Each structure stands twice: as structure tokens, then as C-alpha cells.
Amino acid sequence: MLDLTNPPPKRRMTRSKGALQQALLTLLQTTALEKLTAKDIAEAAGVGYATFFRHYPDKDALLQDLAKGEISKLLTMTLPLLYTVEPRPSTQALCAYVWSNRAVWSALLTGGAAGVLKEEFIRQAQELSAVHPEKKRDLPDSLTVAFSVAAAIEIISWWLREPNPRPVDEMAGYMERLVVRPTMGEGSCPSK
Amino acid sequence: MLDLTNPPPKRRMTRSKGALQQALLTLLQTTALEKLTAKDIAEAAGVGYATFFRHYPDKDALLQDLAKGEISKLLTMTLPLLYTVEPRPSTQALCAYVWSNRAVWSALLTGGAAGVLKEEFIRQAQELSAVHPEKKRDLPDSLTVAFSVAAAIEIISWWLREPNPRPVDEMAGYMERLVVRPTMGEGSCPSK
Amino acid sequence: MLDLTNPPPKRRMTRSKGALQQALLTLLQTTALEKLTAKDIAEAAGVGYATFFRHYPDKDALLQDLAKGEISKLLTMTLPLLYTVEPRPSTQALCAYVWSNRAVWSALLTGGAAGVLKEEFIRQAQELSAVHPEKKRDLPDSLTVAFSVAAAIEIISWWLREPNPRPVDEMAGYMERLVVRPTMGEGSCPSK
Amino acid sequence: MLDLTNPPPKRRMTRSKGALQQALLTLLQTTALEKLTAKDIAEAAGVGYATFFRHYPDKDALLQDLAKGEISKLLTMTLPLLYTVEPRPSTQALCAYVWSNRAVWSALLTGGAAGVLKEEFIRQAQELSAVHPEKKRDLPDSLTVAFSVAAAIEIISWWLREPNPRPVDEMAGYMERLVVRPTMGEGSCPSK
DNA sequence: CTCTAATCGAGACGGTACGTCGCGTCTTACG
DNA sequence: CGTAAGACGCGACGTACCGTCTCGATTAGAG
């Protein structure tokens, strides 16, 4: 029942937190978030039921904590795109990154997790956009953020859901066309 | 407890179903979906608790049924946009319609309802797009539908969330720019 | 609501009542009373659900009505035994009668039906004993009745439950020894 | 809501189980078993509704558990009577015991509880009779047990139901005459 | 041979209790 | 100490039956 061999105990609390995150991630690959119970996660993490609540007030808090890191990495690649005149390489990099971590992102974007994720995503994006030098822009900032995040998530979600996923290049093209270009200044598309 | 005066009792089953839908709609204007219990809805509808489940297996089924009608109306205005060369008037009409029913759509798009709504939305959109004459298009159809619906919902959702909502014209502009134009053929934006 | 005037026409109502009784009896041979629902009985009787309640306020009322007849027949054979100096032939007759109707009595005495049955039994027995010329007796009358009925029911119940039921003669012997003789005057057993 | 003062918490699980039994016993003195709901009992025990089912699968299981102890005590006094040549003192002791615990036994024998009780009674009696040295006997063992238990319960039940209960001595006489003597070997009553 | 009212089937309904489940808090025992 | 184990209060869930009710269709017996 217990782990009788732990030689270097490594601050149990830290171990528990990591185990819970890892367990949630694993479980999410097979089960929707709303089907998971705190007990499920605790057991999968090899952690006592009550211990779960010592670290997180509830399931969503764990998910949010889990997502924070990945979102953070991704956002530092996503947001700059919106302020760049030459976004191709960045978009490409974003998609490549998602692809290389597709196990994680599949888990995060399917099931009921997407809702929590989007909110955290927007929260972080808004923080970032607040400190950015505000480029002259013809869209309300909060709309730009909400739209970009929702659209990007939807596109990636669609991508990872597909039975035969498209190559990274193609997705980068869609992303640029559907998210980046439309939110850039009008000048970027001198259609008339 | 007895009401001996109700003039046209109107086939009970029909009355109950309608009452539940109306009650849910009303409650959604003040409370998030996940905070509502079947008991709440039944009581608000003046209907017995068990009667709720005689009509719907759960909350989401009620919401879906409720949404079906409104989505249907909206979709007959939304989808044509994607296949039209001159989408301005349609986009305008769409936004105007949402605005005139903003009480309903606020309720449907805030709280946890948006998830269920989006799924039903996509389901109907995909059905429609299946019967449409498939214009030559350079985006995967299912991506087009998923993106359009998610983006449109996000934009409208943002609109109705705002403390001082923008005028219909402005929103129609955003919608066209962020949803319609990007999903139309490349020729629409001969940027290069 | 009540029809106090229908003179003889045997009205459908009579048919329904009989069907319900017959259906209950049939069902009781395979299912315990408490497992049966009003719906079950109504369906087995080929009668509408609401029609059940037009005839009986609840399950027990139906059972009681059903039992009344059989109990009445049996009681006219049971009670006299207690006042007779030579009870052998009567006891024999009682057991023979039960045996020839063992399908009915099995149904009535197994499952939860026995409780209702015993009460009705005692009720009728007490009525009868009230009109009888009260023999001098050294047991309280109500105890005699309660004991006799309960004991007789238990013995018959045991009999019909057995995989290989004893012959009628043997049971008549038990019945006389355990029920009849002990409740007769002390003189019957001048043991000391 | 919080009780920070409970002095000797005494192993919760044990406390809950005992509280439920005590509550059922109390409620049975005023209400028939079938009128009691799990909620009633839980509330009377000061215990959560769901906690009821953590200890017992249903009402009857609780009753059975509750009865087991008392029945056990009683049976060790009841069964020996059937194998003794001089049963008077034992019968007397049995009735005296019931009388001194008449509150408990009234509760257990009135209402719908008697059925469950009798079954448990018979179950225990059969176990005991199985280990006993089998005296030569001219009645089937299972019949003896069923009859004795049913008869004894009926007699005691009648006793405790009476407005002016008979004295213990008198009841012991009835019990001996109606239950003990008839089930003993024929030799005990050399009627011929 | 209609016409009218009793009776029926069908089954929706308000209600009550069920037994299950999950949450988040708590207590206890152990290492 | 801190943690594993899990009992507990709470409250929603979805189910099952109850007994009442409304609704048409059927039908019997009075005109």
C-alpha cells in the first residue's frame, strides 16, 4: 500500500502535487474531465483522498495549475504573432510546438477541460497584452484577445481531433489566415 | 393547490415541456447553468420534480432542445453568408437579429451553457453544409464549420458581455472581418 | 361519482374487479406481494392503470377482498373445531380442503401477503367467535383466536413450503396436536 | 454548524451504528415500521441521510441487526425449554425477561416489524437446534421451530398489546400450555 | 337506432422516498 | 509532525411507485 522504498523523500508535498498533475494529465487522455472524480485522480496519483484537497481546493484548481505552465510557454509564442509584421515563422513555430506536445494538448483540449483552459488562456493573454506597447489597432483589445484565443484553441482542437492530422505547415497556414491576419491592422490586407 | 379555473389546459405534456424551457431561459439570465439543479428548474416551471425527467434525461438535454429552435433560426441566416459574394447585408441582419433577441442569447452564451450550445450549433451547421452545393474551397469543410461557429459565438458572447455594447453595425463589421472574409476563397484578399 | 342505482346489469365494473383478483392471484404464485406494483397487476389483468384505483384504494384492499372469500370458506371449517369434542374429522377436512386449493393458499401465504391475510383471518374469526355460544373456557378469547389463527397459518404455510409436502393425514395430526388440543379445555389432557 | 466541543467522540462509525439502532427503537414505539423512512431514522439518530446507507443497505437490515441482540438473549432462554422435562421455571424466566424489557419488545413486535423479526428468530432458532443433541421427537424439526417461534411471538405480541396486561405467571402458563407442552414428546401428555 | 352518460385505456402529472454518487470536511491511527 | 484511510454531513442525482387527473374512445341502455 505504501511506498516502502523511497530513499530520498524529496519534500512529500512537492511530490504529491506533481503526482496529482501527472495523474490528471494521464487520465485526461482517456476520460473527460467531468467524468473524473477527486478520488480517481488521487488514486491514480497514489495519494490519499484527503491529500488531494490539501493541495487544491477542487478539480478545476488542479487543472488550472497544470495548464498554467503549458499555456505560459505557448503564450509567449502566440501573442507576439499578433504584433508582428512577418508572422509566418512564429506561427510555424507555434504549431510545431503544439505538435511535439500533442499528447498533452489533446488531453487539455478534449473533454470538458477546454472551458477552464480557455479562461486561463485569456487571463494570461490579457495580462500580456496589457504590458505590451499598444500598437495602433482597429479592434477592441479585449475582443482581439478573446477571439484569438478562442479561434486558436478551436483550430488546434480540430487539428488534434482529426483521425489523420494535417502536417504542421498546413496548420500554420490556416492559423495565420484565420487568426493572425484578420486581427492585424487593416493595412496588412490591402484588398482594395 | 387545485386550480379549477385554468381556461384552456392545452394538453398537459405540451405545457410542461414549454414551461421547462421557459423556466430554464429565465433562470439562465441570472444563474450559470452548472449552478442550476433540476429541482430549481422544475420549481421555476411550476412543474413536479419527477416530471422534469419525464421530458428530458438531464439538464443538458433540456438546454439542447431549448437551443435547437433559436439556433435553427440563426443558422438559416448564418450559413448563407459563407457562400455569398456579397455578405455585408447578411452579416448585418445576423447581428441585428441577435441584438433584438439579446436577452435569450445572453442567457444561452453565458454560464456553462456555451459548450452545449456550440456543439448543437456545429451539428446543425454541418448538416446544412452537407446539403449545400459545395463551393470550391481551400479550407477543410469541417474546419470551416468549427472555426466559424466558435468564432461567431465568441464574438457575440464578447459583445453581449460588454457593459456598453457596441452598435450592430460595428459588430457586423467585426464579424465579417474575423469570420466571413477569412473563410471565403483566397481571391477575396489578393494580398500577394 | 357513485352509482347507487344500477339494478342487476353486471356492468363492466364487475368484470374488471374479477380480472384484478384473478391477476393478483396468478402473480402471487411467482412474485412476492411487495414486489408487485399496481401497474403490474393492472397489466396482468388487461385493465387500465387508473381502473385499478377505481375499484380498490390500494394493493392491500385488493388482496383483502380476494382473501375474504377463501378465508370465509375456510373459517366455517376452522372455528367449529375449537368447540367440538371430537375434532379429528373436522381437522382432516380442513387440511384436505387446503390441499385441494393449495395453489391459491400457497400464493396467499407466501410473500408478504401473509400479514394482511392473518389480520383478515383474525377479524373474521373474532366475529364468528362473538356469536358463538361461549363455551366455558380457561383461555382469554382473544388470545385463543390470535393464537389459533397464527399457529394454523404457520403450520399450513410450513406445509406448503416444503419440497415434499406431507400427506393430509399427517398434517391433520399436527394441526390437532398443536392447535386444537391445546386450546380446548384442560380436561382434554388429564395429565396430572 | 461546527461543533468544536464534543467531548469523547468515540469512534464515529460505532457511534453512528448505535445511534441508528437506538433511533429506530425509539421511533418504533410510536410509529409502524412501514411508516418510517430512512430519512426519519437518520434524522432521529442525528446522522446524515447517506450515512444510513453506509451502514445498512435498507431499513430491514437495520431492524435485523437491532433485533439480533435481543433475539439472541431471548433464544438462549427459549430453546432450552423445548428440550427440558421440567420447563416451568424457564418459561417463567422467559416471560419475566420479556416483561422487564417490554418497551423494546413492544416496539419490535408491533407495526410491520414482526415479519422481519420472526424470520431472524427462526434463523437463529434453527441454528441452535442444529447443534443441540437431537432428542427423540415426533415432530419434524423445522415445523417445531417455525411453530414455536410463531406461536411464542403471537402470544407475547397479544400480551403486550393488551390494555391491562396479564401478570407474568399467567402468561408463563399460557406459553407452556400452548407452545412448550404440545411440542414435547407425546409421553408428556399420557392422554391415553 | 340513435343519443347520453358511465366506464374504460392510456398515460401525464405532482409528489415522496429511494439508493447512489461526489464533494469537501473531519477524525483517527500510524510511521 | 504529516499523511493515508476513510467516515461523515450534505445535497443533487435519476428511478420507481403512488394515487389523482385529464383525455378520447367505447359502449350500454334509455329514449
Please report, in angstroms and rounded to a whole number, the separation of the first and last CA atoms in chain C: 66
In A, minimum Cα distance to B148 occurs at: A151
Digit-coded pLDDT (tens) for C36-48: 999 999 999 999 9
Q: Yes or no: say if C83 and C132 are a contact pair by the CB < 8 Å rule.
A: yes
Which residue's C-alpha cell is 368484470? Answer: C15
Query: How far in angstroms lies nucleotide E25's C1' from the CA of residue D99?
Result: 45
Q: B175 to chain A, minimum CA–CA distance in Å?
A: 10
Residue B28 burial class via C-beta count within 10 angstroms: exposed 0-12, middle 13-18, buried 19 and up: buried
Provide, as residue numbers in chain B, all residues whose Cβ is less than 8 Å from the Cβ of A86: none
CB atoms within 10 A of CB C39: 10
Report whether pLDDT(A7) > 80.
no
Nucleotide closest to A53 measured between CA and C1': E24
Q: C73 to chain D, minimum CA–CA distance in Å?
A: 24
Rounded alpha-carbon distances, angstroms, from residue D191 to C82, C139, D147: 18, 20, 22
Model confidence at C127, in pLDDT bands (50, 70, 90)? confident
Report whether pLDDT(D145) > 80.
yes
Report whether pLDDT(B163) > 60.
yes
If we measure between CA atoms, which residue out of C155, C113, C120 comes closest to residue C29?
C113
Average pLDDT, whole number, for chain B? Answer: 85
Digit-coded pLDDT (tens) for C132-162: 766 667 899 999 999 999 999 999 999 999 9
In B, minimum Cα distance to A174 occurs at: B139
Closest residue to B147, CB basis, from A155, A166, A190: A155
Average pLDDT, whole number, for chain A? Answer: 83
Model confidence at D13, in pLDDT bands (50, 70, 90)? low
Rounded alpha-carbon distances, angstroms, from residue D169 to C137, D71, D106, D183: 18, 21, 19, 20
Report whether pLDDT(D79) > 90.
no
Report whether pLDDT(A75) > 80.
no
Which pLDDT belongs to residue D136?
64
Digit-coded pLDDT (tens) for A17-58: 888 998 999 999 999 998 999 999 999 998 989 999 999 999
Give the whole-number percent of chain A exceeding pLDDT 70: 80
Phi then psi for residue B134, to 5 deg, are: -75, 105
Q: Which of C83-87, C148-152, D124-128 has the highest mean pLDDT?
A: C148-152
Residues 6+ apart with CB under 8 A from B130: none
Q: Domain B12-56 carries which CATH code?
A: 1.10.10.60
Q: Which of residues 50-89 of D touch strand F (CB under 7 A)?
A: 50-51, 54-55
Query: How far in angstroms lies nucleotide E20's C1' from the CA of residue B179?
Result: 46
Which pLDDT belongs to residue D190?
43
Which pLDDT belongs to residue A95?
93
Task: Read off the pLDDT of each residue in B36-53 and give the average, rounded to a whole number.
Answer: 96
Report whether pLDDT(B12) > 90.
no
Q: Rounded to whole angstroms, how far apart are CA atoms C124 and C122? A: 5
If we measure between CA atoms, which residue out of B66, B185, B69, B179 comes closest to residue B124?
B69
DSSP class per residue in B13-44:
HHHHHHHHHHHHHHHHTTS-GGG--HHHHHHH
Nucleotide closest to C37 measured between CA and C1': F17
Report whether pLDDT(A6) > 60.
no
Handedness of CA A81, A83, A88, A89 (dihedral sign): negative
Instruction: Report helix, strand or coil for A99.
Output: helix
Residues 6+ apart with CB under 8 A from B110: B28, B32, B157, B160, B161
Where in chain C are the domains? Answer: 12-56, 67-185
Q: Yes or no: say if C67 and C111 are a contact pair by the CB < 8 Å rule.
A: no
Q: Yes or no: say if C118 and C148 are a contact pair by the CB < 8 Å rule.
A: no
Report whether pLDDT(C6) > 60.
no
CB-based contact (8 Å) between D151 and chain C?
yes
Digit-coded pLDDT (tens) for D80-115: 665 666 778 888 889 999 999 999 999 999 888 999
Which pLDDT belongs to residue A110?
85
Q: Yes or no: say if C183 and C148 are a contact pair by the CB < 8 Å rule.
A: yes
